[in-house]
Structure 1
Amino acid sequence: MTTTVTHTTNHAWLMTNVRQTDGTRVDVSIANGRIAAIGPNLPREPGGAIEDGAGALLLPGFVEGHTHLDKTTWGMSWYRNEVGPKLTDRIENERRWRAQSGHDAGAQSLALARAFVQAGTTRLRTHVDIDTDAGLRHLEGVLATRDTLRDVLDMQIVAFPQSGLLGRPGTDALLDRALSAGADVLGALDPALIDGDPVTSLDLTFELAQRHQKPIDIHLHEPGEIGAFTFGLLLDRVAALGMQGQVVVSHAFCLGALPERERDTLLARIADLCVALLTTAPPSTPVPPLKTCIDKGVTLFGGNDGIRDTWTPYGSPDMLERAMLIAMRYGLRRDDDLALAFDCVSTTAARACGFAQYGLQAGARADLVLLDADGLAHAIVARPPRKLVVANGRIVARHGAPATHRIGR
């Protein structure tokens, strides 16, 4: 007889008859939000509930390594995109629209974050605009979302200067306040092409990070030789300040456009200094080479970037879709290669962002996804509805819908 586990379960219970990606049938014992054991024929705790997995495929909760929850129009009326082609066009258009429309970063980030959880994401890093017009208003909204979902979603917030650090006086002071107010990571943007002074920009960024003892996640869209120059300056500071393992470079388009010899020399330094790379795998922009990065010991993980906002109509809170887009961008077709794409939104992403106690092993936080698929590659390509999503030991979604009318407090 099977006892249905409720969404509020936070004590001992047992998930039975699930398949690991190698085909092994196992049970999963869960206690107080953690995986107590994984293996065949596990004993039931006295009085503990049982959830029959019915042979479904078992995956760890997904990891979103780079998104912008504060910007989204998720669930709102369609935004008609008529923005110009330049990066600065998008920045100014977004600032103007958010101010004129009264866009509510709190309500919108909560709607999208709940959709992420419902689709199986249990760890998430979001960049939040710190703006001299809006002040910390967007951050305050996302901090409220993090608090609402704290029992089911492990969220990191990046204090992100969308207009750069130097162009708008007072941005550095706002970033300082944002890190004191609860932001976990310091963001930055194109020190050469946006700030126009990469040395000063990077010096100030690293000084702020050191002052608050926070890691850095920098957007680097700069192409080719310009991007390589900025990258070199950044790596110099990582080495000088002992910030190995504390810096992520998002996008890093230059690594997809450099000559092989120059690229590989830069990748060797990146690996040596334990700097991680984030890609959204855009279809029409150079991207860091996935397999070369893996071969050279460079951590490369994945994320969506913005989802349904003034920058783009695209994106989805389903990280299996992002894994598929990563696989398509890199020409991955074999089942074992598709597993590399899934690593970009699971184990590798958790390691790069510093999400602790992640994975399918005893002692890890019980973040689990069940779905009907023959194997991992099939799951990525077909992206079936989630039969069950468990976050921090709680069942939060069944059959593609929230387990209750609302996820979170």
Structure 2
Amino acid sequence: MEKETLLVTNVRPWGAAAVDVLISGDTITEIRPASRQASTDETTTVVDGGGKLALPGFINAHAHVDKSWWGQPWVSYGGEATTQGRIAHERAQRDKYGIPSANGTERVLREFLRHGTTATRTHVDVDLGVALDGIANVRTAADRLGGAVEVEVVAFPQDGVIRRDGVLALLDAAADAGAHSIGGIDPCAIDRDPVAQLDGLFEIAERRGCGIDIHLHSGGDLAAFEYELIIDRTRRAGLTGKVNVSHGFGLGQLATDRQTALVEQFGELGISWTTVAPTNSAPLPWRTMLDRGMGLGLGTDGIRDLWSPYGDGDILQVALDFAKLHRVRYDEDFVGVAKLATSSAAPFVHRSVHDVTVGARADLVVIDAENVPDAIVRAPRRDLVIAGGRIVATDGEVTI
């Protein structure tokens, strides 16, 4: 069967000169200077980009798409505003709101598409209450959308690893069933046994060949201690390029020389970082992290869930928060931030290339903006979203 072709005319990738982008199947096959009268055959669908800015599809490198009550009646905030309090509240209330479910996850993924996100790394709760059901629901939801949002799963032990007998076995089963990574959480504060948690996670990762993506919320010296343990375990296990730290707010609280020493080792071992850029956190040494070869990605975290009523799935808003937090002012730095949400985040979803370039998966976001800084500062409506060669959203509304 001949592949369907799509021609997106008169768009400006990254704000450069206008081009026409030819897509065959799910791949960008040609980029050529914009033509007033693009020649096509009857099998080609032509879409006029109107001279607007074009970016690669956004990559949400840290999400929790299994936990949202998006699309349901408003759920009032309850429980204690601590990590332990949020865990307890969620465990007590989630069944009441049908969490997790394939329908709830699909609603979140549709919001991702509406905002131009075409790939995500999502943490999915694995615990004694839901077992692997959340992962099954996420995969069902992604399948319903025909892979428009490519989903990479991290099996996530939100309620702790060691303190709940049986969680390590569930993480092992998830990795055996195809989870790209297994997660961990605050080995000191939650399990209160960092050696046992990391021993368990790294043993599974070594045996199954999966990655590790660990939530760390601690600050100050405790944060540095956890980072040092992870550095040591990564080096001893030979898991270079397979470990990611999620959140890791404590890194920004450390003295510059201590930050630099840690970042040097993170870069050497390919330990990457994902942040949701909360504006009340300490800025990360992001330029140093990139200079030392670290991967750095942006994510939305939870979206209207039992942890927080905030969030709408718009990674461009996260990029704006990141820019504000790090006092970005110059155009080249705005472009660097945009790349954190797009092209340079490719490794977080195991892509070798993710850009408006020949050979890449055809994920394209068209925005009515003068340039990249303008797009970040205003976060305007996404006028056209193409995912895997399919038009999935126009004028800010999902069409599939």
TM-score range, shorter-chain basis? over 0.9
Please give the alpha-carbon distance, in whole angstroms, between the structure 1 residues aligned to 2:232 and 2:176.
Answer: 26
Question: By how many angstroms is 1:111 displaced?
Answer: 0.3
Q: Would you say 1:283 and 2:279 are equivalent positions?
A: yes
Find the counterpart in structure 1 of residue 258 from structure 2.
Answer: 262
Match of 1:73 in 2: 69
- Measure, in 2, the Cα distance between the counterparts of 1:260 and 1:354: 31
What is residue 311 of structure 2 aligned with on the other side?
315
Q: Structure 2: which amino acid aligns with 1:157? A: V
- 1:136: how far off? 1.9
Matching residue of 1:17: 10
Which residue matches 1:38? 31
Partners of 1:273 and 1:104 in 2: CA distance: 35
Cα gap change, 1:80/1:343 in structure 2, threshold over 3 Å: closer, same or farther? same
**Length, aligned pairs only:** 396
Within a 5 Å distance, the mapping from 1:215-254 to structure 2 comes to 215-254=211-250
Distance, in Å, in 2 between the alignment partners of 1:298 and 1:121 is 22
2:298 paired residue among 302, 305, 324: 302
Larger mean CA deviation between 144-153 and 302-311 belongs to 144-153
- Of residues 107, 111, 117, the one that matches 1:111 is 107
| 1:378 corresponding residue in structure 2 | 374
Distance 1:174 1:103, change over 3 A: same
Q: Residues 314-340 of structure 1, C-alpha deviation per residue, up to 9 Å, x if partnerless?
A: 112111111111111111122222112
Contact map agreement 1:65 1:125 (CA 8 A) in 2: yes
Structure 2: how far apart are the matches of 1:106 and 1:287? 36
Does the 8 Å CA contact 2:15/2:370 hold for their aligned counterparts?
no
- Deviation at 1:287? 4.4
Is 1:118–1:400's contact at 8 Å kept on the other side of the alignment?
A: yes
* TM-score, L = length of structure 2: 0.95
Q: CA RMSD in A?
A: 1.7
State how far apart, in whole Å, the 1-side matches of 2:291 and 2:304 are.
34
Query: Which blocks of at least 5 consecutive residues in structure 2 are unaligned?
Result: none
Q: CA deviation at 1:38?
A: 1.1
Report whether the alignment pairs 1:134 with 2:155.
Answer: no
Following superposition, the deviation at residue 211 of structure 1 comes to: 1.9
Of 184, 189, 206, 1:210 maps to 206
Asked if the contact 1:221–1:251 (Cα under 8 Å) also holds between the matched residues in 2, the reply is yes
State whether residues 143 and 182 of structure 1, in contact with CA within 8 Å, keep that contact through their aligned partners in structure 2. no
Unaligned runs of 5+ in 1: 1-8
Which string of whole-angstrom CA distances, capped at 9 and with x for unpartnered residues, describes residues 357-392 of structure 1? 411111000000111111111111222222211110
Shift of 1:356: 3.7
Give deviations 1:158-196, integer Å, cap 9, x for gaps: 100001110110001111222223322111111111111
User: 2:195 aligns to what?
Assistant: 199
Matched to 2:260, the amino acid is D
- Identity rate, percent: 39
1:399 to partner: Cα distance: 0.6
After superposition, the C-alpha distances for 1:89-147 in whole angstroms (9 at most, x for unaligned) are 00010011013443342111110101101221111111011011222222221121122
What is residue 151 of structure 2 aligned with on the other side?
155
Q: Mean Cα displacement is larger for which, 290-299 or 11-20?
A: 290-299
Query: Does 1:178 pair with 2:174?
Result: yes
Alignment correspondent of 1:26: 19
